[in-house]
Amino acid sequence: MAKGKNPHAVALGRKGGKKGGAARAANLTPEERSEAARKAVRARWAKAKAKKT
């Protein structure tokens, strides 16, 4: 079997991935977007605290 990734699969994944976040954010209410951001920052801080100890 050949090494590396299938270039067609990579292109297809990139195409969907590039518009994924923006499309999802457009469908969220401001409250939902705020909650998602709050959850993300909690996860980042938890990761930093875990690394520190």
pTM score of the predicted model = 0.56
Q: Number of folded domains in the chain?
A: 1
Is the per-residue pLDDT at 53 higher than 90? no
In a domain, 2, yes or no: no
In a domain, 1, yes or no: no
Range of the domain at 25: 7-52
Q: Kindly report, residue by residue over 7-48, the tens digit of the pLDDT.
A: 999 999 888 888 888 888 899 999 999 999 999 999 999 988
In a domain, 24, yes or no: yes
Closest CA to 24 of 36, 14, 12: 36
In a domain, 35, yes or no: yes
Is the per-residue pLDDT at 5 higher than 80? yes
